[in-house]
Structure 1
């Protein structure tokens, strides 16, 4: 059971680990072959025409091959345990299909930059190498974008710019180095003191754009202003600049005001600007795609790659649409991985269901500790309750946090008209006003409430929009990547603020992330609407706060569950202690300790159960004592060994007719000339004498593993289930015990008595005979009757212990020396003669010595007798009798030899000595 459970749990663990390893393939639609791109911010194409997309609001890098198949999808999250936000902000490629990405690390609120990483991703997306890391300090006050820009691969080097407010330095690192490295400084570029750098790209030449909307060409340390041609205020300015070096220097950029991709061609007297494509033209060419906005432009050879929010357009130099990437397909391997993920999910669900069933149906039906059973029942209920409580609390608190956030934003947005001077805002009319007096005044007003250097800004961001000529423009934003006077397509919330002057709340998703926001109107001193104030929070901050809340809830719930589990366990152990007392007492009773009394003072049903147990224990004790007395009485009549031979443990199991055949040794011992002694005693004295003799002899039989089958007056028929040697040893000790008994009789002035002992071995049948109301154990065997006859014969032969050949063969070598062959004896009741032996080790010492001295002559005479040499036999027996006048066997053989010598043998003579 334990092995099976461990295998199930191990399999579940393997499935869980597999799901973690395959988590990137998790999807609700594993069989879906096609997928749309989503929330694009940048796209580039390599030499193999593979497209690299920064998608999902800068959270994912996707590579799509020339056939439209997804090669890989990589998350920007470098550290899954971190609360920081990780965003892809740039991507480039090399000729081998490796990608180089810039990952910007933001704080937990998704606003302030804490570091930047340059990561190399192999062509199949499986290997990731960190090439460079740059940390940002609190004083840098970098918001949403860091210092690194414009990744470009040149040979085996990766070039990039590190920018400050008015300058940039070109640096490089090796693309082949597998370790993080310090960059090599290549060049530096400076802007005029009243210009503020926004974007820098290209190497030779280099293009720089400013926050005021200027575009400069840096070539041979010369700074040339290409856009605009003059310093007149204008709403047109270049963003997302890309430069092509060919026969001519073509500079491509996005004109956010016109929502168009433009091409700037430097000339000696300025620059020529051409339209490449507009957002409207793309929408007309492919009406099935929701282009929404232009976000990035890049170049690959003569191809122009335009990134919109919902698709990527590839144009030729004439601006004609060649290819559109609006989605991708999965390869069969990727589909297989997605299906495999769900197969493992289904398998895990089935395994979990089976394991739960096994635990709660199969295991609980088996013998388990009560504490374990209770924990198996309580812990899941407790876990389910705590999970439901956690979800309820989390959902309730997170919703409340969201409401509180909206209320906070609403108050801030409503106070925007007081925080921001509308007359000052009205003076800002173009990007040229960046960091002008009006801009500085408004910025100072905001910093008094929301200083950028504060670490406790709680993730709030601020954006100020200028409303003029029916259009909304970004004027000021905490995001350093935003350029002044980028036009904004009015949302329904914007329209309500403009039309009604109300504070509006909402949620927004774009290429930069997901946001909660509040909008409030900004008026000038004449009461005219001149702008909109927006404040909000990145959903990253709210999600991070909710995750932190969830972690706190889980910790609290785990502590509560742990405390409850400990309390339940302690209570269960306390209650089980009384039950364990009862169990120990039961085990003691089962072990034969009857004087048991359990003490329980719980003042409940268990105490009452203890009292009933004590009553039961007393009753059992009395009953067992009675049964023990009865069993002891039974064993006086039926030996316990007799029951064991029958395979029974007590008398109640015995039934009429049950029998067993077994090879056993039979020993019969009986007092000789008992009738002569009995005639001299009264009946009472007879019984007293018989009992005293049997009391002397009975223990000897039991000590040697035998049991008494029945009594023969002053003798007994005994059986030995073990080896015959045990019976022979018992015979020896019976003779010693008799000597002791005769010594006691001599002290009382009584004559000694003599025992005859006969031993045989063979198969005997033990069984139950009688009728239903009267049963008796009996032994039935020819060997039993033969042994009884041999015991009577032993007196005629003058032998103390008479053995058959089967018994003699079991004699130990040392004891066999005191054994002589008696030849074959023909009993009156037997058809076949019996080969007998005289074992005289237990005889009186002088008799034993005489038999030892005459043994060879006696056995030689036996051989002569059997061979028919009766004269030689008679002479041999005469010699024995002369030496040992107590040898009755020699006398019997002498008379038979003499008769046969004088008269000859009968025709039926079988060489055996006949004894009547």
Structure 2
């Protein structure tokens, strides 16, 4: 019966774990996109980077995929990246794959690989090396009745086009070539994207132009072929037929047919014209596209509200939006079954191991074996846990070292280049200038990967980049984390470091902001190092630790056996005395003729037997009263069960959301009795609501006017407690006399704190230590000047679901710098009329705050004045008007 129940329990746990893995934690958001390829029937092949894998999924126009495959990015000291790929009607994927050294990113080789997504196993069907004597590196792949590979030679002076039969590529062995053509191109312009056009090749340059290349002749510019007055470079280019190519213009957003003969364009769809049935997007939102023909294509757009990407799928002119990828029903069922089976087997093996150890401990006839089988597994677990913690600490240290290295490289390049170098290359038609060539040359010679970006007019644009044209929208990197870091660096003016995974693999990157000369542009310098350099160190550390731990376990195991054998003899007498005491003989006393710890055990037992009745009596008395003075939630916060477990040093330490509550007493003198009642009312409100949320209330002053509430469970608890307290305070103030009203300020801040028991053996005192929280508390009078009753710092704001509340950004605490904190005003507790007025003026207020942060005080003052005219109760706007006047 018991084994049956356990099997059922294991099955349930395995099903739950599989559900969490395949549904809850299953990736579906469109991010870290390597590329897309439009397939037949409205399907799209999407390639993404997930962890250390390149994941390909064939999804329909609803975002449901039934075919998928994974390719390791880093293996055997090599890191692979995808240059281009295409998919045919039989779900075969043709992939140009570049290989580079995992540590240095030095280019090694290039392969054309063919995969069959319809297979269950062994999806790769053929690999063709693309080595050639001319040093051509292929970058683009076009698939129709033939597979066309296009690439450039080392100095980018020639474009090579090679054609193959797709059926030959899907077979092992060397495929037969269907012809190779070579075209002369302008190396100064570079190539961003090339497409075949009959016997010619049309290509978009790195400076945003379109050229037509023919054999035996110089490449000619066909678009725009005139002096640029606005940014009209193509966001994407795709083959259409022998006489036309399809382009998407950046400025207008128009999707147009470009006539290769005369360079004329005809608009297929206007840039501002919304897609039919898709009200959120227009062609001007397209970042990149994969086109089969004029009515069948897939485009990538960015959802500005979520920060992730979405697909616009056109099938015969019918449009649909794909916001996330989900597996098909059969795929989900199979994944669920496979995951459940693996988890079930794992639980069975773990249970079998535990049963084997327990049976040896219980069934052995000697204590020696019991101790050995209980101590050695625990020692092994301790070594594993210690190894995990030490490995994480070492990994963090190595990561910090490499982050410092890329940051130093960024600072070095910043000092080397300066803003003047970047000003020379701000627009695409300046791509061929001396400034661009100088920067490009310098960056390519660095030991780290380097590129630049611009932040101008609230948008990010590409700068010097070996893969992307200058001044294209930076969203082309198709990586939300990288975009976030660049925006954060531009907005805060501070260097941002971190680790990301993208088409080049896992990298430690640093984004260094460089101020623009005009003041409206921020130049951003990105430097990065492959994470494989860190893995080299951490892998060696892990191998050494495993060897040392195994030797240590063997030595300690042998020593423990010797010690256990010496201890077992006197334990028999102690066992007999304990058995008699347990049977009710309270007069039993133990005798010992040794002078070691066992004699101490006998002495302690004898003392305990004499005092046990007194202790029981005292404990009964204490248990009736101590909860009145020390609430149980303090025990739970400290991880203790009762008061007796507390001792100096019992503590918790970590990052917590702490609600600081301050009662401001009137300057008018009031009777002490009335003041006591007012303070008591204030304390009762905060204490009662804190109890409801199982939060820990800490008294910060002897007069109870300053309280702190530690919210250990959920970051949202602090906001909920404050709003509930404000509701009760408003109810009290509505019926109270003016001098008896509660004037309370709430500040929610997230900081590292130490909360525990201090003192000595005579007296225990709960204490809370937090330098960050103390600094914020000291500045509560300054926060009160903003007249906001509930203020949340940016540290706590990041842990909240801010969409649930009415809130707005109200600036920084003090002068903006490393010690400043962004503040957010949560005004849910205000009256409906005040909430309406604040919401009505929200856009004007936010714009005024932006101008204030840019030190445009005159413009900010005028906008704050507009806010105050529409909402005379907005004391925050009034405060900033005075601040602007001081600044001016």
TM-score, normalising length: structure 2: 0.52
1:399 aligns with 2:396: yes
Computing the radius of gyration over CA atoms, which structure comes out larger, 1 or 2? 1
Separation of aligned partners in 1, 2:284 and 2:344: 42
> Deviations 1:65-103 (Å, cap 9, x if unpaired)?
477542222112177x53433333422222333222233
| Correspondent of 1:225 among 205, 212, 221 | 221
Displacement of 1:189 in angstroms is 1.5
Separation of aligned partners in 2, 1:25 and 1:293: 37
| Correspondent of 1:343 among 340, 347, 353 | 340
Displacement of 1:388 in angstroms is 1.4
Counterpart contact for 1:45–1:300, Cα < 8 Å:
no
Separation of aligned partners in 2, 1:136 and 1:567: 58
What residue is the counterpart of 2:299 in the other structure? 306
Separation of aligned partners in 1, 2:312 and 2:241: 21
Unaligned runs of 5+ in 1: 1-10, 141-145, 580-603, 606-916
- 1:115–1:376 distance in 2 versus 1, CA, 3 Å: farther
Separation of aligned partners in 2, 1:339 and 1:483: 44
> Deviations 1:738-790 (Å, cap 9, x if unpaired)?
xxxxxxxxxxxxxxxxxxxxxxxxxxxxxxxxxxxxxxxxxxxxxxxxxxxxx
- 1:241–1:111 distance in 2 versus 1, CA, 3 Å: farther
What residue is the counterpart of 2:415 in the other structure? 418
What residue is the counterpart of 2:549 in the other structure? 561
Q: Name the SS of the counterpart of 1:91 in structure 2.
A: strand
- 1:467–1:339 distance in 2 versus 1, CA, 3 Å: closer
Separation of aligned partners in 1, 2:496 and 2:268: 37
What residue is the counterpart of 1:50 in the other structure? 43
> Deviations 1:106-158 (Å, cap 9, x if unpaired)?
43259544333322222414331133124699x98xxxxx9223323344x53
Q: Name the SS of the counterpart of 2:331 in structure 1.
A: helix
1:171 aligns with 2:162: yes
| Correspondent of 2:449 among 455, 458, 461 | 461
> Deviations 1:824-854 (Å, cap 9, x if unpaired)?
xxxxxxxxxxxxxxxxxxxxxxxxxxxxxxx
What residue is the counterpart of 1:210 in the other structure? 205
Paired residues for 1:501-520 under 5 Å: 502-505=494-497, 517-520=509-512
- 1:180–1:424 distance in 2 versus 1, CA, 3 Å: same
Counterpart contact for 1:209–1:239, Cα < 8 Å:
no
Separation of aligned partners in 1, 2:438 and 2:138: 29
> Deviations 1:288-322 (Å, cap 9, x if unpaired)?
999986133322474132133522213378xx652
Displacement of 1:42 in angstroms is 2.9
What residue is the counterpart of 1:694 in the other structure? none
Displacement of 1:244 in angstroms is 0.6
What residue is the counterpart of 2:349 in the other structure? 352
What residue is the counterpart of 1:64 in the other structure? 59
Separation of aligned partners in 2, 1:396 and 1:514: 20
Q: Name the SS of the counterpart of 1:245 in structure 2.
A: coil
Displacement of 1:476 in angstroms is 0.9
Separation of aligned partners in 1, 2:557 and 2:59: 57
Unaligned runs of 5+ in 2: 1-6, 303-308, 476-481, 568-593, 596-888
> Deviations 1:534-586 (Å, cap 9, x if unpaired)?
23336xx33x345434422321221112211332465579899999xxxxxxx
Displacement of 1:166 in angstroms is 2.3
- 1:25–1:230 distance in 2 versus 1, CA, 3 Å: farther
- 1:519–1:87 distance in 2 versus 1, CA, 3 Å: closer
Displacement of 1:198 in angstroms is 3.0
Separation of aligned partners in 2, 1:281 and 1:269: 29
Separation of aligned partners in 2, 1:374 and 1:349: 27
Separation of aligned partners in 2, 1:238 and 1:102: 24
Paired residues for 1:744-755 under 5 Å: none
| Correspondent of 1:241 among 211, 228, 237 | 237
Q: Name the SS of the counterpart of 1:463 in structure 2.
A: strand
Separation of aligned partners in 2, 1:527 and 1:289: 32
- 1:441–1:153 distance in 2 versus 1, CA, 3 Å: closer
Separation of aligned partners in 2, 1:213 and 1:548: 41
What residue is the counterpart of 1:383 in the other structure? 380
Paired residues for 1:718-729 under 5 Å: none
1:532 aligns with 2:523: yes
Counterpart contact for 1:517–1:537, Cα < 8 Å:
yes
Counterpart contact for 2:61–2:321, Cα < 8 Å:
no
| Correspondent of 2:462 among 450, 453, 474 | 474
Counterpart contact for 1:41–1:512, Cα < 8 Å:
no
Counterpart contact for 1:170–1:186, Cα < 8 Å:
yes
Displacement of 1:428 in angstroms is 2.2
Separation of aligned partners in 1, 2:275 and 2:499: 27
1:552 aligns with 2:540: yes
RMSD after superposition = 4.6
Paired residues for 1:298-697 under 5 Å: 298-300=291-293, 302-308=295-301, 310-315=309-314, 322-366=319-363, 376-444=373-441, 446-447=442-443, 451-452=445-446, 457=447, 460-466=448-454, 472-477=460-465, 480-488=466-474, 502-505=494-497, 517-522=509-514, 531-537=522-528, 541-542=530-531, 544-568=532-556, 571=559
1:132 aligns with 2:121: no
Counterpart contact for 1:213–1:432, Cα < 8 Å:
yes
| Correspondent of 2:81 among 87, 90, 100 | 87
Separation of aligned partners in 2, 1:213 and 1:301: 22
Counterpart contact for 1:243–1:251, Cα < 8 Å:
yes
Counterpart contact for 2:94–2:115, Cα < 8 Å:
yes
Separation of aligned partners in 1, 2:63 and 2:496: 42
Counterpart contact for 1:43–1:312, Cα < 8 Å:
no
Separation of aligned partners in 2, 1:272 and 1:429: 27
Displacement of 1:230 in angstroms is 2.4
1:153 aligns with 2:156: no
1:199 aligns with 2:193: yes
Counterpart contact for 1:162–1:169, Cα < 8 Å:
yes
Q: Name the SS of the counterpart of 2:40 in structure 1.
A: coil
| Correspondent of 1:272 among 250, 261, 265 | 265
> Deviations 1:452-500 (Å, cap 9, x if unpaired)?
5xxxx3xx332233566776532212xx221112134797766676677
- 1:110–1:215 distance in 2 versus 1, CA, 3 Å: farther
- 1:224–1:368 distance in 2 versus 1, CA, 3 Å: farther
Counterpart contact for 1:430–1:484, Cα < 8 Å:
yes
Paired residues for 1:774-813 under 5 Å: none
Q: Name the SS of the counterpart of 2:525 in structure 1.
A: strand
Displacement of 1:55 in angstroms is 2.5
Separation of aligned partners in 2, 1:32 and 1:440: 45
Separation of aligned partners in 1, 2:29 and 2:403: 32
